């Protein structure tokens, strides 16, 4: 599958990795629907993508908003070729009694429920088309057991398991041209990282390790251009398969 003239939905497209992906795919000839709660950020992304980009404001954890997104895509293009589950938030607050549970739950709602909801609505369209690619952004935090990062780590581990389970069902049903994989981009300079860089729990020197968001695009394109029958249900660290949990120490 090449990206030229493909219809791509990218969640979290108002900034960071999502914006970089939108710009990259648009420049390579794709049509992108960017989904985000941040209207102003979507407008800035649109300026970089010209007529190839359609911004849709909404919440990935809202059934009403996601249904509206899918309706806009199908009305305008009559197909959805690629879904990038990129939207994500984080909090450094651990699960403890003095932290509102709603703060913890909000991370799960966006990072895990949002991925499940978007996939639930879009995967049947891909099955009907007979082809499609779904890539979900996760993190090494899924296996790292970082103190105070419980909600984020749990959400990313959940996405990895969701991806693997859905892919297994596709394989059993012989849908060889529908691939669902997870991608770890590595520490990337985004607004989410910026909101936590002052936290003393972050590893020393992390700021120097942060890559720019546009570095992620070539790897994202690699994943959506995998051939029919290619890797399915796998975790990639950028363009290379990554053995999630094999480094796990109990």
Q: Which residues are catalytic?
A: 152
Q: CA neighbours within 13 Å on the CB side: how many for 81? A: 15
Packing angle, helices 16-27 and 217-224, rounded to 10: 60
Q: Which residues contact 46 (CB under 8 A, 6 or more apart)?
A: 34, 53, 54, 55
Tokens at 130, concatenated: 């007979």
Tally helices (H) and strands (E) across the chain: 10, 8
Q: In whole angstroms, what is the distance from residue 192 CA to residue 14 CA? A: 12
Q: How many angstroms separate the Cα of 24 from the Cα of each of 29, 48, 53, 104, 168?
A: 9, 10, 11, 33, 30
- Is the CA virtual torsion 170, 108, 53, 71 positive or negative? positive
């Amino acid at each position: 599958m090449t990206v030229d003239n493909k219809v791509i939905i990218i969640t979290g497209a108002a900034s960071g990795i999502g914006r970089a992906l939108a710009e990259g795919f648009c420049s390579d000839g794709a049509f992108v629907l960017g989904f985000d709660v941040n209207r102003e950020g979507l407008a800035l992304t649109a300026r970089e993508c010209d007529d190839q980009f359609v911004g849709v404001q909404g919440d990935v954890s809202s059934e009403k908003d996601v249904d509206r997104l899918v309706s806009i895509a199908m009305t305008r293009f009559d197909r959805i070729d690629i879904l990038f589950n990129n939207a994500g938030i984080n909090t450094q607050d651990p699960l403890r009694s003095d932290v509102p549970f709603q703060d913890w739950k909000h991370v799960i709602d966006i990072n895990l429920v949002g991925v499940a909801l978007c996939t639930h609505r879009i995967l049947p369209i891909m099955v009907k088309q007979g082809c499609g690619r779904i890539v979900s952004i996760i993190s090494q935090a899924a296996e790292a057991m970082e103190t105070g990062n419980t909600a984020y780590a749990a959400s990313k581990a959940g996405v990895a398991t969701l991806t693997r389970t859905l892919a297994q069902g596709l394989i059993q049903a012989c849908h060889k041209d529908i691939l669902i994989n997870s991608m770890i981009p590595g520490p990337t300079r985004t607004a989410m990282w910026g909101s936590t860089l002052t936290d003393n729990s972050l590893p020393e020197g992390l700021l120097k390790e942060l890559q720019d968001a546009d570095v992620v695009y070539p790897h994202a394109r690699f994943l959506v251009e995998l051939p029919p029958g290619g890797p399915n249900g796998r975790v990639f660290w950028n363009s290379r398969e990554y053995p999630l949990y094999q480094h796990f120490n109990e």
